[in-house]
Structures are given as C-alpha cells and as structure tokens.
Amino acid sequence: MRSTPSYKWAGFLVAAALLAGACGNAPAPEVATDPFDAVAQLRGLVCDREMVGSAVMIDDHYLITVAHNVAGSDGGLTVTFEDGVQYPATLVGIDFDRDLALLRAPTVKRPILTVAPAVTGEGGRLIRLRAEHERAEVQFTDAEPIIAVGRNIYDDQSDVRRQNVRVTARAGSGYSGGPVLNDQNQMVGVVYAAARLDEVTYATASSEIDIFLDSIESSTTPVSDSGRCPT
C-alpha cells in the first residue's frame, strides 16, 4: 500500500520559519498540478566548466538537486523555469554521501512537488527542461527500490546506507538533479546517475531528503565549503 504523499520536510520548514523571523502558521506551499511547473534548469560555472543540470522546488524559495552538480562551485548558480525567467540561487546545504544539495532562491515562489516512496514495478517518467526551456521526458515501467552503500560522490569509502530507486530509462545530459515521478506525478527520487549501456537510471530516494534537511544547521546561510571537484 502506498503511504500518504507528503510535502512537508520534517524539521526543515519550522527551522526556516524561525530563521526568517516568521510568526504564526505559514501557509502551505502550493502543490504543482503540472510537475514541470516545479522543475528548473540549473546552471553555473563549476570546476571551470559550464554545468547544466536540474533542480526541483520542495518549498517556497528552496530547491533540491544533487551534490555532484554543484560540488566545487564558487557561486554564480542560477535556476530557470519553463517561462524563461532566471533567478540567482545560493548553495545552503550539501551532503557528499547522499549526493544531495539544497539551493535557496529567495525571489522564487513556485508550486512544489509532493513526494512518495517508490513501489516495486510501478511506472512513471523522468522530466527536465532542455535548452530554450523545452520540455523533455523519458518513460519507465519498472521502478525498483534498492539500497546503495559504500561510496560517496568522490568514490571514497562511505558508511552511509542510502535508499535508492532504479528504473530502466535513458537519462541523458541535464536530467541529473531532476525528479523521478510515479504515475501520480509524485516525486519518488532525485536522479543522480545513468548507465548508458543498459539504459538504467539511478536516483536517491525521496526519503533521504528528510535525513539530509535535518542535518542542515542554517537554511539561509551559504555553505562555507562546497567541496572539491568530482573526478
């Protein structure tokens, strides 16, 4: 049985409200009826190269992406949505073991995606925005929750056991950091790798986002060290 979908990230929204000096109950973010409304193209000069990836709205002003998109970044990140409007974004959290990063774009307020656990054998799609912000998607029919253990984004030894999702779908350039959606347009994972030969795509399960967000000390302060460049 599928668990109830969620949009509140445990501990994070409360902490963000306190840091922002908010009082009372903040209104819940709008949930996207069209998932493309919550997906951005992520760009920046990272490790002396032009990085192009994806990011997903998870709360007002906040987007999730993968750590290897932004590791080694000195700033200058931007997110652009389907309407072509570009916004500056700041890296406020990064986890090299789970391959997740949190971006803050204070002038962005857009619909978010709900999340759900992946169910074995379910179908869905990967989505992203191409150049010129055109829609792109790849279908799959065989989601499989798996456990990944042993390596971080630098291929160093890690003790973290990470919930992942594996699907048979060819995720080309630009899908990294974007959502894996089930057939109800709920996010079940964040794309981080693809095996081109067997057309398999791997994603960090959405349940790992809660763990990552709970580890962030400040949701408004830029990270002091974005890490070294992945090899």
> What tens digit of pLDDT does each residue of 110-138 get?
999 999 999 999 999 999 998 888 999 99
Whether pLDDT at 21 is above 60: no
Write down all domains in the chain, each with its CATH number in brackets: 12-112 (2.40.10.10), 124-206 (2.40.10.10)
Token pair, residue 104, equals: 């803050």
Tell me the average pLDDT of the chain.
87
Rounded (10°) CA dihedral 12, 16, 22, 27: -50
Q: Are 164 and 170 in contact (CB under 8 A)?
A: no
Whether pLDDT at 182 is above 90: yes
> What tens digit of pLDDT does each residue of 25-39 get?
668 899 999 999 999
Q: For the full predicted model, state whether its pTM sits above 0.85.
A: yes
The DSSP code sequence of 74-89 is -S-EEEE-TT--EEEE
Whether pLDDT at 198 is above 70: yes
Pick from 224, 33, 67: which is nearest to 156 by CA?
67
- The alpha carbon of 62 is separated from its chain's Cα centroid by a whole number of angstroms, namely 10
